[in-house]
């Protein structure tokens, strides 16, 4: 029912409401001013059976007897203080406690508080109490611990005897006031499952507390076997004996939801440990298959309505455990328990080996970790840092989700253990452990607890009941204790130090019956009605003092007891406004009633006022009623609060100029009035919203009036702030500027402005231009304007005159030299350029010509003039020189190459031609010069051709005529050859080339070798390139191939053999073997081996291999011996150790041999048989031989014979095993053939066998007189 977002609030709410009036009264009784008078517990002894006196059984003249009872049966208790318990009593024929019965204690019955409900007695020959639904004469035999609800219904399980049938058992119901017994179910009732057989209850004793649960409304849930105990299940009925309804069982179809399985399979088990809430919901543990018809078993915690319905999964195996990443549930144990809100507590083992307590919901809601034993998960209260919970016991669940659990502690104080209290809001606190004094005593008295300690019993208020054992500082200590959760205080009910004074008897810690307190603790006691602690803070318990003494007691923490009790109920807590009526007339009055008589009791009250703010506060009203001289109280809380805010009056909305103050002194103050506060605090806060322009805004002023209790009223006043002021503008003076000067405000001046509310107004200008008398002159009228952010503006004007008085600037083209045949106009010699600062300029020119030295040479003087639009002008001069400086154009023939001996005349090599653009040609000719070539037979002729014109311009160009030798020599190459690695490749062995040349009588012959890789690094091919060259560098080439091969294997030398002995217990060795060495004619060989990393016991042959670069290889072998000096372990045993009768048969003796060696397996055993009589030795009734055949494990046969005059025969079977290192182990077994079966003969032959075996164990050899058998000749028919 919990969700993570609301869990704390829900727990707080439940904690506040469920504790109830009763707990509040209890706290006041303990902590209030009358604590001394009110906190004294009372103890009522219900019944006793002491040596000093035994109480009579009600309804019959016999005493209670506890004699022979091994198990203390704890009583059960309801919220009315009624107690039901099972006890033994004397029978009509003895005083040993042969009769069994159930008894009820009813505190409200002043006349007869203790009554007999049912017992096993006879009245005459007939049972005193008739077993309902059974044949006449059926008699109750014994009773399990019953269950008891707050309505006074009692449900019990009983064994009974039915005439003609035998012992049976069943569940029955009756009233705590006695009367009719109702049959609910018994082993003669058919299970409501069709053809299935009758119910079968637990085959154990009748002490099982979990066979039935009971609600206040009378719903009964029970667990039972059926179908001849093949199936189990949970069933429901009512105390009236209604129909039996199956809830879940192993033969029906009750598929649970919420397991996370795709399709859950069948139920295979439901545990008898279950819990039943008073709302009629069952929580139980069960096991089902993971899939229908098969699959693994999966455990879980489940819930199901007692009225039948869907089975809901609370927690399931392998689901993730809460608050433990990566950890899942592995199994469940203890519990579960369910409270009235549907919370389910359970214990689970985890996948990491730890365990924990958890809580889920019957509706399958989120799971919560209460605690676990994982390291670092929880701090152990009262322990050293690092201590952790080590075990967890199941603990019942309180209505406020509290639990009291027991745990051992690890990594803390030595042997520490104790009870701890879990509160969902406050966490885990210590109740008691071995480090503090036992409740009610001082150190060294302390509780140490035994290994069987369990979780504490708990009631709705969260208070606990638990037993404890330890030491009182001198001897053993045994006690029963109550824990007040509200005060976090332990209260001693009774212990072995005060038992005589408190309980009327002493604990002796001796006898067959263990001294103990009988009290229900770790069972699902709240909802299953197996309770020893009720919601009135009463405890019912049994005290067993020694072998025969016991008592049943009712202890009341709040001092209640006697024949009646007054219960008081407070009116509900209320909250009112100041001034409201807080008297009982307005706030309500408590009521009190005697729970036994039902009469009303007078009430009174006293108030304690705790002031708060203003006139508010809390009235703690304690109501009281008299309970036989002891007041009972409850507390009502009346909270007086002030939730009404003050009344607030505002000044009206207003406006303000931007340069005026908006302070309340100018805009008005608010006023406030409050009913409970004469002078509420008045404050305001302004929120300023900027307007549409600077200086304008809206102030929203929030006025707040707050009284002493923090009630506040707020309202707003609006103040509008405006801006309508005109800006002030200052413009610069008028100015005249040249046409090239800037008219920007940075040069002619900028306007300035001021405004009252805008620190940054905008200043702009616009120009209007009128043309002057010429293009470059004008008049600019500049209008300046200032505008603030709200649009307020001011404007003014400035005049700027622009004039042109500067001449243009002219740049002539550069002076030019031109040929006589080239143009001289500006398009060829360049134009002058002109520019004017204020406009365009016009350019013109005039030429003057001066004659030169010849007709084709003269000078031009060119004058350039520039004029602008306003008549301003400038001029410059350019000189142009015309001349004939160009040489004639000559065209010589191309360079040629000729072979030596060919003609070099122009007629053969080509004639030059010439032309001129300005003058006639004067001359044309050539001159040759000759240079030697690069080699004999070659030369270079440089032929210079020359021409000149009439002005003396001349030109010369060369022609080159190259005479060359370009014919290569003739070459003859030797044939290809093959040589072996190590042979020489010299030309004297592989051959030399020869050459001849037409022009060079002695050409040079040379060679160059290039090695190509072969099939391996050493094998290769030499490609020898032969070259013949003449004096002029003409060459001829040819190739010869010389193949180099390697076919010889390396030589190898192994390292010496190695022998080592391993240490005892070791079966392998890591060795340094050394290294093999190898040599090769042609390459460095590689050496490898197959040696393992470690060597086992025995001989290992290491193969060393040397391989050269061409794959030629050779091997050698190194022997490595690892010896084991530890002998095997050998055992033998026999199926038959004695042969009888001595009929000469060869009989298998079932020899088994086991050989175990630390380093080897499969060592074969060797079997040898010796005897103190030989194969062929006469026996007195015939001769048979050999006496041992098939001598091997599993097959050995020995002959059943011995000499008739001997004291028996001993076969000594020697078994030995030898490992590969030669270590031998031996053992022996013996088989005897006694002289007879008399004790003396048997003892005699066994002594001989023992002596022979002992001798062999000492000497590792058969004793003197023993001979080898099994090697004799074959004699006789029995073989």
Which of 443-452, 762-771, 800-809, 850-859 has the weakest average pLDDT? 850-859
**What is residue 83's predicted lDDT score, i.e. its pLDDT?**
95
pLDDT per residue as tens digits for the range 208-217: 334 678 999 9
**Domains in the chain, number:** 7
Residues 426-445 as b/e (b if ≥16 CB within 10 A, e otherwise) read eebebbbbbbeebbbbeeeb
C-alpha distances in Å from residue 53, one per residue of 72, 505, 806: 20, 11, 151
Report residue 8's pLDDT band, with 50, 70 and 90 as the boundaries: very low
pLDDT for 610 beyond 60 = yes
Listed residues 831, 858, 883: the one ending a domain: 883
Q: Are residues 1100 and 1055 in the same domain?
A: yes
The predicted model gives 235-243 an average pLDDT of 92
* 516 vs 1035, residue with greater confidence: 1035
* Averaged pLDDT for residues 1089-1100: 91
Q: Which helix (H) or strand (E) holds 13?
A: helix 7-18
Count other C-beta atoms under 10 Å from residue 1251's C-beta: 13
Range of the structural domain that residue 846 is part of:
809-883
| Dihedral angle sign, alpha carbons of residues 492, 494, 498, 501 | positive
**259, pLDDT greater than 90:** yes
Mean pLDDT across 855-877 = 85
For residue 334, pLDDT over 80 is answered with: no
Q: What is the CATH number of the domain that holds 1025?
A: 2.60.40.10
Residues 848 and 936 in one domain: no
pLDDT at 1139: 95
Q: Stretch 975-1001: mean pLDDT, rounded?
A: 85
Do residues 768 and 792 share a domain?
Answer: yes
Partnered with residue 764 across adjacent β-strands are 785
What pLDDT is attached to residue 321? Answer: 95
Residue 1080 covered by a domain: yes
Quick: pLDDT tens for 1191-1212.
999 999 999 999 888 889 999 9
pLDDT score of 32 more than 70: no
**Is 544 domain-assigned?**
no
Residue at 661 is within a domain:
yes
CATH code: domain of residue 1247: 2.60.40
Q: Report which listed range, 84-93, 990-999, 1218-1227, is most confident.
A: 1218-1227
Residue 745 lies in a domain: yes
Considering the domain architecture, whether residues 861 and 991 belong to the same structural domain is answered as no
Question: Is pLDDT at 761 greater than 70 in this prediction?
Answer: yes
For residue 455, what pLDDT band results from cuts at 50, 70 and 90? confident
Torsion of CA 642, 644, 650, 653, to 10 degrees: 130
Residue finishing a domain among 933, 964, 995: 964
Over 90: is that where the pLDDT of 25 sits? Answer: no
* Peptide bond before residue 792 is cis, with ω within 30 degrees of 0: no
Q: Tokens 């001798």 appear where?
A: 1255
Integer Cα distance of 975 and 1041 in angstroms: 8
Q: Which of 1123, 1142, 1165 is the last residue of a domain?
A: 1123
Q: What's the mean pLDDT in 579-597?
A: 87
Backbone angles phi, psi at 1242, to 5 degrees: -65, -45
Residue of 753 and 66 predicted with greater confidence = 753
Domain identity same for 765 and 813 = no
Q: What is the pLDDT of residues 64-116, one digit of tens each?
A: 886 555 556 789 999 889 999 999 888 766 666 788 999 999 998 888 999 99
- Is the dihedral angle over the CA atoms 491, 495, 501, 504 positive or is it negative? positive
In 3D space, the residue among 692, 579, 694, 558 whose CA is nearest the CA of residue 627 turns out to be 558
Which residues touch 16 (CB under 8 Å, ≥6 apart)?
none
Q: What is the pLDDT of residue 806?
A: 80
In a shared domain, residues 1134 and 1103: no
Same domain, 1149 and 1245: yes
The Cα–Cα gap between 464 and 405 comes to 10
Going by their DSSP bridges, the two strands 574-577 and 630-641 should be labelled as parallel
The per-residue pLDDT for range 292-310, each reduced to its tens digit, is: 887 789 999 999 999 988 9
Hey, CA dihedral for 503, 505, 510, 511, is it positive or negative?
negative
pLDDT score for 515: 64
Average pLDDT of 7-27? 36
Computed over every residue of the chain, the mean pLDDT equals: 86
How many whole angstroms separate alpha carbon 720 and alpha carbon 656?
Answer: 6
Q: How far apart, in Å, are the Cα atoms of 2 and each of 15, 341, 357, 814? A: 14, 10, 17, 105
How far is the C-alpha of 220 from the C-alpha of 282, rounded, in Å?
11
Please report which confidence band the pLDDT of residue 390 belongs to, taking 50, 70 and 90 as the band edges: very high
Return d(Cα 1115, Cα 1054) in angstroms, integer. Answer: 9
816 and 847 part of one domain: yes
pLDDT at site 4: 23
Indicate left, alpha or beta for 51 from its phi (over 0: left) and psi (-120 to 50: alpha): alpha
677 and 773 housed in the same domain: no
1086 within a domain of the structure (yes/no): yes
- Would the pTM count as exceeding 0.85? no
Q: How far apart are CA 430 and CA 606, in angstroms?
A: 36
Q: Measured between alpha carbons, how far is 981 from 978 in angstroms, rounded to an integer? A: 10
Integer angstrom CA distances of residue 522 from 149, 213, 458, 482: 18, 15, 9, 14
Phi-psi group of 151: left, alpha or beta (phi > 0 → left; psi -120 to 50 → alpha; rest → beta): alpha
> What local confidence, expressed as pLDDT, does residue 699 receive?
92
Q: In sequence order, which residues have a C-beta less than 8 Å from that of residue 476 and are 6 or more positions away?
A: 469, 470, 496, 509
User: Closest Cα to residue 514, out of 553, 542, 491, 492?
Assistant: 542
- Better-scored residue on pLDDT, 854 or 199: 854
Give the pLDDT mean for 637-657.
90
Do 1036 and 1076 belong together in one domain? Answer: no
Contact 861, 882 (CB under 8 A): no
Same structural domain, 1002 and 1113: no
Decide if 1018 is inside a domain: yes
% of the chain at pLDDT higher than 70 = 92
The pLDDT value recorded for residue 510 is 62
Average pLDDT over residues 644-661: 88
Give the pLDDT band of residue 824 (cuts 50, 70, 90). confident
What pLDDT sits at residue 514?
60
Q: What is the pLDDT of residue 333?
A: 85
Q: Tell me which range, 40-44, 285-289, 734-738, 865-869, is most confidently predicted by mean pLDDT.
A: 285-289
Residue 855 counted as domain residue: yes
Backbone angles phi, psi at 899, to 5 degrees: -75, 155
254 lies in some domain: no
Q: How far is CA 142 from the centre of its chain?
A: 54
Question: Same structural domain for residues 1014 and 1037?
Answer: yes
Distance CA 248, CA 308 (A): 8
């Amino acid at each position: 029912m919990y969700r993570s977002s609301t869990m704390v609030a829900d727990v707080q709410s439940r904690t506040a409401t469920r504790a109830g009036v009763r707990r509040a009264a209890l706290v006041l009784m303990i902590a209030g001013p009358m604590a001394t008078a009110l906190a004294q517990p009372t103890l009522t002894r219900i019944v006793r059976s002491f040596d000093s006196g035994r109480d009579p059984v009600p309804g019959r003249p016999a005493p209670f007897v506890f004699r022979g009872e091994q198990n203390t049966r704890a009583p059960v208790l309801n919220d009315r203080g009624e107690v039901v318990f099972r006890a033994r009593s004397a029978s009509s024929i003895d005083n040993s406690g042969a009769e069994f019965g159930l008894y009820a204690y009813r505190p409200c019955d002043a006349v007869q508080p203790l009554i007999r409900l049912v017992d096993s007695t006879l009245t005459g020959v007939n049972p005193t109490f008739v077993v309902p639904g059974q044949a006449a004469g059926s008699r109750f035999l014994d009773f399990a611990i019953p269950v008891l609800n707050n309505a006074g219904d009692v449900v019990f399980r009983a064994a009974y005897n039915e005439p003609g049938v035998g012992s049976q058992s069943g569940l029955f119901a009756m009233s705590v006031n006695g009367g009719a017994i109702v049959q609910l179910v018994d082993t003669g009732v058919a299970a409501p499952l069709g053809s299935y057989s009758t119910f079968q209850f637990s085959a154990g004793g009748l002490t099982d507390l979990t066979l039935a649960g009971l609600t206040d409304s009378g719903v009964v849930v029970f667990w039972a076997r059926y179908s001849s105990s093949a199936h189990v299940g949970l069933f429901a009925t009512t105390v009236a004996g209604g129909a039996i309804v199956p809830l879940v069982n192993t033969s029906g179809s009750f598929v649970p939801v919420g397991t996370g399985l795709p399709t859950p399979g069948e139920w295979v088990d439901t545990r008898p440990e279950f819990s039943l809430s008073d709302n009629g919901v069952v929580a139980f543990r069960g096991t089902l298959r993971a899939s229908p018809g098969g699959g693994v078993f999966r455990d879980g915690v489940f819930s199901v309505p007692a009225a039948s319905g869907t089975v809901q999964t609370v927690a399931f195996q392998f689901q993730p455990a809460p608050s433990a990443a990566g950890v899942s549930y592995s199994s469940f144990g203890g519990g579960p328990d369910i409270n009235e809100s549907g919370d389910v507590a359970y214990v689970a083992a985890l996948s990491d080996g730890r365990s924990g307590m958890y809580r889920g919901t019957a509706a399958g809601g989120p799971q919560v970790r209460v605690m676990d034993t994982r390291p670092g998960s929880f701090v152990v209260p009262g322990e050293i840092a690092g201590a952790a919970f080590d075990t967890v016991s199941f603990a019942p669940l309180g209505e406020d989700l509290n639990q009291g659990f027991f745990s051992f502690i690890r990594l803390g104080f030595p042997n520490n253990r104790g009870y701890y209290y879990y509160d969902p809001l406050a966490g885990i606190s210590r109740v008691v452990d071995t480090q503090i004094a036992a409740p009610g005593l001082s150190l060294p008295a302390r509780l140490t607890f035994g290994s069987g300690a369990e979780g504490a019993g708990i009631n709705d208020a969260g208070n606990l009941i638990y037993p404890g054992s330890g030491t009182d500082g001198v001897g053993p200590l045994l006690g029963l204790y109550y824990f007040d959760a509200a005060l976090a205080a332990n209260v001693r009910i009774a212990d072995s130090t005060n038992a005589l004074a408190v309980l009327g008897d002493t604990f002796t810690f001796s006898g067959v019956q263990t001294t103990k307190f009988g009290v229900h603790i770790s069972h699902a006691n709240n909802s299953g009605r197996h309770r020893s602690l009720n919601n009135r803070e009463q405890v019912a318990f049994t005290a067993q003092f020694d072998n025969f003494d016991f008592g049943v007691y009712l202890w009341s923490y709040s001092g209640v007891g006697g024949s009646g009790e007054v219960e008081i109920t407070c009116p509900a807590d209320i909250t009112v406004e100041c001034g409201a009526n807080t008297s009982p007339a307005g706030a309500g009055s408590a009521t009190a009633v005697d729970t036994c008589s039902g009469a009303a009791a007078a009430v009174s009250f006293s108030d304690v006022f705790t002031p708060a703010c203003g006139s508010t506060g809390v009235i703690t009203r304690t109501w009281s009623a008299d309970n036989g001289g002891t007041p009972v109280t409850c507390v009502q809380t009346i909270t007086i609060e002030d939730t009404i805010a003050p009344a607030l009056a505002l000044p009206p909305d207003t406006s303000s100029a931007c340069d005026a103050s908006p302070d309340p002194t100018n805009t008005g103050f608010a006023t406030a009035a409050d009913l409970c506060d004469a002078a509420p605090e008045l404050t305001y806060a302004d929120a300023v919203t900027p307007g549409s322009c600077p200086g304008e805004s809206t102030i929203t002023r929030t006025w707040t009036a707050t009284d002493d209790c923090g009630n506040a009223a707020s309202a707003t006043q609006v103040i509008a702030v405006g801006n309508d002021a005109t800006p002030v503008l200052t413009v610069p003076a008028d100015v005249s500027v040249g046409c090239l000067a800037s008219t920007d405000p940075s040069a002619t001046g900028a306007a300035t402005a001021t405004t009252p509310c805008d620190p940054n107004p905008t200043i702009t200008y616009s120009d209007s231009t009128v043309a002057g008398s010429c293009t470059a002159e004008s008049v600019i009228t500049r209008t300046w304007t200032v505008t603030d952010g709200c649009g307020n503006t001011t404007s003014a004007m400035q005049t700027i005159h622009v004039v042109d008085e500067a001449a243009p600037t002219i740049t002539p083209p550069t002076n030019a030299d031109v040929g006589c045949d080239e143009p001289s106009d500006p398009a060829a010699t360049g134009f002058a350029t002109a520019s004017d600062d204020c406009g365009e300029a016009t350019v013109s020119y005039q030429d003057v010509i001066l004659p030169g030295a010849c007709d084709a040479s003269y000078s031009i003087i060119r004058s350039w003039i520039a004029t602008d639009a306003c008549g301003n002008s400038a001029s410059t001069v350019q000189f142009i020189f015309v001349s004939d400086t160009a040489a004639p154009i000559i065209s010589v023939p191309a360079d040629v190459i000729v072979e030596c001996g060919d003609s070099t005349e122009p007629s053969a090599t080509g004639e030059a031609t010439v032309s001129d653009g300005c003058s006639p040609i004067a001359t044309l000719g050539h001159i040759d010069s000759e240079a030697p070539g690069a080699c004999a037979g070659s030369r270079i002729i440089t032929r210079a051709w020359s021409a000149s014109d009439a002005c003396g311009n001349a030109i010369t160009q060369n022609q080159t005529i190259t005479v060359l030798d370009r014919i290569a020599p003739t070459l003859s190459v030797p044939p290809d050859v093959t040589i072996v690695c190590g042979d020489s490749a010299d030309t004297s062995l592989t051959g030399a080339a020869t050459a001849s040349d037409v022009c060079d009588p002695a050409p040079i012959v040379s060679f160059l070798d290039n090695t190509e890789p072969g099939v391996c690094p050493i094998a290769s091919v030499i490609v020898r390139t032969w070259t013949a060259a003449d004096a002029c560098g003409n060459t001829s080439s040819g190739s010869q191939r010389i193949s180099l091969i390697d076919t010889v294997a390396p030589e190898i030398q192994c390292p010496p053999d190695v022998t080592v002995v391993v240490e005892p217990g070791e079966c392998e060795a890591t060795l340094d073997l050394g290294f093999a060495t190898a040599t090769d004619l042609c390459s460095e060989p590689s050496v490898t081996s197959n040696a393992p990393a470690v060597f086992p016991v025995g001989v290992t042959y290491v193969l060393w291999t040397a391989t050269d670069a061409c794959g030629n290889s050779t091997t050698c072998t190194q022997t490595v011996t690892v010896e084991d000096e530890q002998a095997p372990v050998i055992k033998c045993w026999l199926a038959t150790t004695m042969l009888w009768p001595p009929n000469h048969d060869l009989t298998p003796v079932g020899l088994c041999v086991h050989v175990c060696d630390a380093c080897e397996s499969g060592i074969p055993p060797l079997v040898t048989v010796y005897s103190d009589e030989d194969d062929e030795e006469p026996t007195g009734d015939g001769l048979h031989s050999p006496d041992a055949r098939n001598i091997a494990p599993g097959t050995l046969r020995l002959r059943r014979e011995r000499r008739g005059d001997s004291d028996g025969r001993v076969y000594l079977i020697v078994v030995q095993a030898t490992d590969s290192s030669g270590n031998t182990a031996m053992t022996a077994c013996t088989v005897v053939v006694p002289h007879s079966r008399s004790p003396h003969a048997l003892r005699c032959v066994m002594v001989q066998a023992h002596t022979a075996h002992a001798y062999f164990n000492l000497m590792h050899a058969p004793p003197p007189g023993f001979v080898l058998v099994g090697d004799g000749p074959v004699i006789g028919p029995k073989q």
